[in-house]
A and B are shown apart, each in its own frame.
Chain A
Amino acid sequence: MWHGIDMCSLVYSFAFVPCACEHQGIVDDQFTQLRKLEDENSPHFVMEVASLFFEDCEKLINNMAIALEQKQGVDFKQIDECIHQLKGSSSSIGAMRVKNACIAFRSFSDGQNREGCLRCLQQLSHEYSLLKNKLQTLFRLEKQIVAAGGSIPRVH
């Protein structure tokens, strides 16, 4: 019986997390669309994409942080490229707040504003960690459901 209740709360949580995420603007409709793409053929599509994204994102944020710390002139072109990449992937995955942070970042990097860029980078890492946190919760829940022998409710 407890198992059933547990399962219930897991599934509920699993359904709630994206909803809450969307509500908080962490992710948008695109994320839902992504989840819709998940089916029997590719059961871990979202997770796969998300981990690609995390990997990509961390690398880019790192690169930008290094670039911004350069004492002898910041390579804004490189930063710009990084932001573009990040913006593309975040909009693909539907990470709205990351994307918005990218947009803000871009305006500063266009203006060659190092201070602004640093602030934005901070904001970006914050958004990123928030997203990562949420998604990892989601994936953990998913894993737990699978581990508990339940089936993952598909979005249609």
Chain B
Amino acid sequence: MSMNGKLSGSNCRLSANFRLKKAKETMHGPNSFRKWKRNLLFLWLLGFVSTGIIWFLLSFNSVALGSNKKTADSCEEKARILLQHFNVSKNQFLALASFFYESDQIAFLGCGKHSGLEKPWSDDVTCALKVLCPEKQDSRMQQVQIVKTMELKDQCPVQVENIHSEHDLSLLDHHTYVPQKSVSSISWEHHSGGKNILQGSAFGGQPKDNFKNLSFCMGKGCWLLLVGVILSCKIPGFCLKLRWKQKNEPAPLQPATQQLQLLLQQKQQQQQDQSPPKGAGKWRKKLLTVFVLLGILTSIWLFWHLNQKIILRREHTLANMCDERARMLQDQFNVSMNHVHALAILVSTFHHGKHPSAIDQKTFGEYTERTAFERPLTSGVAYALKVLHSEREQFEKQHGWTIKKMETEDQTLVQDCRTENLDPAPIKDEYAPVIFSQETVSHIVSIDMMSGQQDLENILRARATGKGVLTSPFKLLKSNHLGVVLTFAVYNKDLPPDATPEQRTEATVGFNCRYLGASYDVPSLVEKLLHQLASKQTIVVNVYDTTNASAPISMYGADIADTGLLHVSSLDFGDPLRKHEMHCRFKQKPPLPWMAINASVGVLVITLLVGHIFHAAICRIAKVENDCREMMELKARAEAADVAKSQFLATVSHEIRTPMNGVLGMLKMLMDTDLDAIQRDYAETAHASGKDLISLINEVLDQAKIESGRLELEDVPFDLRNLLDSILSLSSDKSNDKGIESAVYVSDRVPEVVVGDPVRFRQIITNLVGNSIKDKGHIFVSVHLVDEMKGTSDVGDKVLQQGLNLVQDMSSKTYNTLSGFPVVDRWRSWENFKLLNGKDAKDDPEKIRLLVTVEDTGVGIRLDAQDQIFTPFVQADSSTSRHYGGTGIGLSISKHLVELMHGEIGFVSEPGVGSTFSFTGAFGKGEVSSLDSKWKQYDPVVSEFQGLGALIIDNRSIRAEVTKYHLRRLGISVDITSSLESACTYVSSIFTTSAFAQLAMILIDKDVWNQETVLQLRSLLEQHRQNCKRNVSTNLPKIFLLGTSMSPVERSKLKTSGFVDNVLMKPLRLSVLIACFQEALGNGTKGKVRRKKISTLGSLLREKRILVVDDNKVNRRVAEGALKKYGAIVTCVERGHDALNKLKPPHTFDACFMDLQMPEMDGFEATRQIRSAESEVNDKLASGEASIEMYGNVSHWHIPILAMTADVIQATYEKCLKCGMDDYVSKPFEEEQLYLAVAQFFESG
């Protein structure tokens, strides 16, 4: 069953393949149920196929076994036949031996000579006899030899005993060569028998080989089938993959933000692509049909082929068996006939050769009786004499009876005939009365054989041919069986073997002629014969006499219904005139050819199953392809829709913004007019709403930009602290009204200048802060380095520490927070950040990571809404959104922006307590010098306060830290006390030290404000000043009050009452602090913030020679006017060709502004030609073909070409760059953009 093993091996591969395919399938849409079903189907199929094959092979084997058995049977049969032949020979010898009892050597000679034909198996023995006889003249010895031979041949003890008594054993030695010879001959016989057997077995083996071949072929077929299955499973998958690839390949080239048109084009292209798969599917289906048809044909063919083989084999078997039987019958008959012949010769020799006759009826009867075993099929033997009519009387007298005639032609009536009752034969020319007969047929003695029609013919023919002649079958006397009569003519004189019939007849006429007749009982003959053979049950044998071809006479066998196969073997009974045939039939109808049916059905089933699998696979492939196509289409549509949406949003936003600007501007103008309070309020409300609307639109625009991936971050250095100040100052308007305290804290370790996108950074914080401004408490923005968070054990930063302590000590009644309200644990907001948790080994030393935390004490976010807080247009609470405003996309935008900054955003929120949002972001480290001028506005002032000291009196340490942070930015050293009392002690303790001299200001928080104590502090200070008069010039420390929400009236009251020098409003801002301190300390400098004028377009473009190319003269004029205003020297041309001429090196232009859409030669083409002309010149210069002087001392020509275009879309921009343009400006010119565009070319130069 090695094949099975292979099969399972290949099945493994197959299943692996299936798995692969399935894996592919799951990509498109996992369907576990289908998978399971498929597995089951596959298993079932596998089981079925293997069972089928095992069964198939087994059936082959059983057939082979059967054939083996058959072979064995036939071998056995052969052996038996061989044995029989031996027996016949042996009998012959026995007969001879028994005869020698009564005869002598001389007679034997003739007899032996004649009987030679009887003993074909023992030629050598007779030869030996021939040699021996003349020498020894001792027939006894011969017998010993014969007996010995027999003994050697096949132990026949009975016979040996019979004859043994008269032996002289010593003689044996002299003639050892005889037995030797016979032994050798026997051994040869055995050998040839063995060969026969071998041949038989070889024949039996052949079909086995055939089966083997067949099964091998089948196995091969199965293999091929499986390989086919695997291949065809793979090929479609591969094709599919290929197609996918092809389809997908162009996709990555096109960013998601492609234009609608491009997408549509792509879609159309895809639609064009869609036809081939359909064709492939059809092709596959056709192939499948062909395959199934082929399979069916194969199975039919297989059935036919196998069936044919079976039939052939059956025929062959039948023929073999029939021939065998026919041969045996013939042999048996011939043996008998030979014996009868021999008997005839014997009789003629002893009856006629001797005078007086050595044989009389008694001797004949005895002899024939004793040798009857030799003629097992002969019912009787009789000897008739030819008597001429002239001799009749004498003859009758001599024998004492009259010649009688057969009573009737119909032999059946002669059932109990008596010789006496028969009439004497009528007078004829000659008679053939029976003189001797075997005992069994003694009743025919004296009957004239020539009186019966059959016998007469026989006798005449036998006389003519000199051979044994048969009658046609007739019912034998006495027995009811059909039989034939064999007649031999015995001549008086030896005739030459080639005597003509005339001579023979003459001989009989001329000489006395005798006849020996023997009747054969054919049915019993055949019966006996068949009995000897095995498998007689399987076939039916009929024997016919077909001398008369038109009316064959059945000699044996019943008429049996036709079972199809018929084999006819001719029988030769030695009579050339008589023809006999043996008809063989199988008893049973041929059984159904199960093997062929099994094989073909197996093939058919396999084919159908494979076909089914393929069909399913093809259907599936088609379905998947269809789905895939659908998906692609949907995807394209979705992308198109997305692009359309983005465009729509951008357009609509822009379109809304334009009129809104008008609305806002008008409102602003309106507010500047003289309005009463109510009108002003209305106008202001309208203005504020408009502004909200604008910001909403901006947010929507941002969202659209983010979604389309068009948003990119800048990298510019900026001052983080100033930025945060400005953010807080914007939101403070809102928050201060509600009494919300807002504060900013930036850790010392954060560098002053960072590189990033300040606009987007501000946007994130504004969003978070805007999200936070609710009812009460505070908003606290703090910035730290991510590194500071990494180790909680040694947190150096006080603000962070307090955050930690807060968690550790929640039992204290007042919270150590900015406003005293409880807050959530800020540490939890970033605990999920990968950056903090993961050991981020690849820290870029050039990059810093900032952690920004926005803490508020608002209502918090409902727990169930926390999951989708970053989803666009989802707000924590729909009611709050109405209450507090906001679009709900702020957080989503923030999240995207944070991701763009390679950071993470997280939050922790408890309803009723508040929320803390944290985010990280990667920024570059910036140098202070690299800072843009607009960030540097405070620089000169900061130095004024360097070295001063300050005392902060605040009961909340965290708030004190925030204040300290702001003061330290100004270079002021800070001390903190928690109450006014402790401040007093502190002040007294430092009176004598230099620290007091430095102490320039005391900042008191409103929470600890207490007029008495302040007065006390003041007096203390006053007292001290008086104490140390030497230091009159020293100013007393100024006292400032830090307040959150105070009305201007309140403030001025405090100021005028002299309690404090000034009131600082929170949130603290550097600019406010500076202004305040400057005023209070009166340092004399006006402190007017000097604003450095930014380098303008004017400085950039002055004296620059610019070429404007535009076909539209209005546009040309406007561009000219705009550029001239910045001091440029403008030349205008109308067409691309003119531009080409103008810009042919050498020229003196510094830049070129090129319209894109122009007749004849558009901007792209013009640029391309200009660039090619330039590169030509550059090549020439590089190769030294032309001197630099020829081209105005410029070694490399490249004029900046800027496209002027009304529609600035990405594709246009890319096309511009591709054509060699350097940048683009939108038309009409916008100052900012124009500046940015030209700056990159002129600023460096």
Q: Do A and B come from one complex?
A: yes
Interface residues of A (CB under 8 A from B): 22-23, 28, 30, 33-34, 36-37, 39, 41-42, 45, 48-49, 52-53, 56, 81, 84-85, 87-94
23 A-B pairs with C-beta separation under 8 A: A34-B1118, A37-B1121, A37-B1122, A37-B1124, A39-B1125, A41-B1124, A42-B1121, A49-B1117, A49-B1118, A49-B1121, A52-B1114, A56-B1113, A56-B1114, A81-B1159, A88-B1157, A88-B1227, A89-B1114, A89-B1115, A91-B1206, A91-B1227, A92-B1117, A92-B1118, A94-B1228
- Most interface-central of B658, B1114, B1159, B1229 (chain A CB within 10 A): B1114
Known contacts A33-B1228, A92-B1227, A92-B1228; is A85 also within 8 Å of B1117 by CB?
no
Complex interface bits, B1150-1172 against A, C-beta within 8 A gives 1, otherwise 0 = 00000101010000000000000
Which A residues touch B1124, using CB under 8 A? Answer: 37, 41-42
B694 to chain A minimum Cβ distance, whole angstroms, is 15
Flag if A88 contacts B662 (CB, 8 Å): no
The one of A28, A42, A56 in contact with B1112, judged by C-beta atoms closer than 8 angstroms, is A56
Flag if A92 contacts B666 (CB, 8 Å): no
Flag if A30 contacts B1228 (CB, 8 Å): yes
Which B residues touch A52, using CB under 8 A? Answer: 1113-1114, 1117
Complex interface bits, B1082-1118 against A, C-beta within 8 A gives 1, otherwise 0 = 0000000000000000000000000000111111011
Which A residues touch B1117, using CB under 8 A? Answer: 48-49, 52, 92
The one of B1114, B1125, B1159 in contact with A92, judged by C-beta atoms closer than 8 angstroms, is B1114
Flag if B1118 contacts A93 (CB, 8 Å): yes
In angstroms, Cα B1125 to Cα A18, docked, is 21
Which B residues touch A33, using CB under 8 A? Answer: 1122, 1228-1229
Which B residues touch A23, using CB under 8 A? Answer: 662, 666
B1126 to chain A minimum Cβ distance, whole angstroms, is 10
Flag if B1206 contacts A88 (CB, 8 Å): yes
In angstroms, Cα B1155 to Cα A91, docked, is 14
Which B residues touch A49, using CB under 8 A? Answer: 1114, 1117-1118, 1121
Known: A34-B1121, A36-B1125, A42-B1124. 13 other contacts (CB 8 A): A30-B1228, A37-B1122, A48-B1117, A49-B1117, A49-B1121, A53-B1114, A56-B1113, A88-B1115, A88-B1206, A89-B1112, A89-B1114, A92-B1112, A92-B1119
Which B residues touch A42, using CB under 8 A? Answer: 1121, 1124
A29 to chain B minimum Cβ distance, whole angstroms, is 8
Complex interface bits, B655-672 against A, C-beta within 8 A gives 1, otherwise 0 = 000100010001000000
The one of A36, A84, A93 in contact with B1157, judged by C-beta atoms closer than 8 angstroms, is A84
> CB-nearest residue of chain A relative to B1126?
A37
Flag if A28 contacts B1121 (CB, 8 Å): no
B659 to chain A minimum Cβ distance, whole angstroms, is 8
In angstroms, Cα B1159 to Cα A25, docked, is 30
Interface residue ranges of B960-1015 to A (CB < 8 Å): none
Flag if A93 contacts B1122 (CB, 8 Å): no
A114 to chain B minimum Cβ distance, whole angstroms, is 23
> CB-nearest residue of chain B relative to A81?
B1159
Flag if A22 contacts B662 (CB, 8 Å): yes
Complex interface bits, B465-502 against A, C-beta within 8 A gives 1, otherwise 0 = 00000000000000000000000000000000000000
- Most interface-central of A52, A56, A90, A92 (chain B CB within 10 A): A92
Interface residue ranges of B931-968 to A (CB < 8 Å): none
B1204 to chain A minimum Cβ distance, whole angstroms, is 9
Which A residues touch B666, using CB under 8 A? Answer: 23
B1236 to chain A minimum Cβ distance, whole angstroms, is 17
In angstroms, Cα B1117 to Cα A48, docked, is 9
B280 to chain A minimum Cβ distance, whole angstroms, is 39
Which A residues touch B1112, using CB under 8 A? Answer: 56, 85, 88-89, 92
Known contacts A23-B666, A94-B1228; is A88 also within 8 Å of B1121 by CB?
no
Which B residues touch A89, using CB under 8 A? Answer: 1112-1115
In angstroms, Cα B760 to Cα A14, docked, is 42
In angstroms, Cα B1097 to Cα A36, docked, is 14
In angstroms, Cα B670 to Cα A23, docked, is 14
In angstroms, Cα B1121 to Cα A89, docked, is 14
In angstroms, Cα B658 to Cα A23, docked, is 11
A79 to chain B minimum Cβ distance, whole angstroms, is 14
Known contacts A30-B1228, A37-B1125, A49-B1121; is A92 also within 8 Å of B1157 by CB?
no
Which A residues touch B1228, using CB under 8 A? Answer: 30, 33, 91-92, 94
Interface residue ranges of B229-243 to A (CB < 8 Å): none
B599 to chain A minimum Cβ distance, whole angstroms, is 73
In angstroms, Cα B1228 to Cα A93, docked, is 8
In angstroms, Cα B1114 to Cα A49, docked, is 6
In angstroms, Cα B1110 to Cα A61, docked, is 20
In angstroms, Cα B1119 to Cα A41, docked, is 16
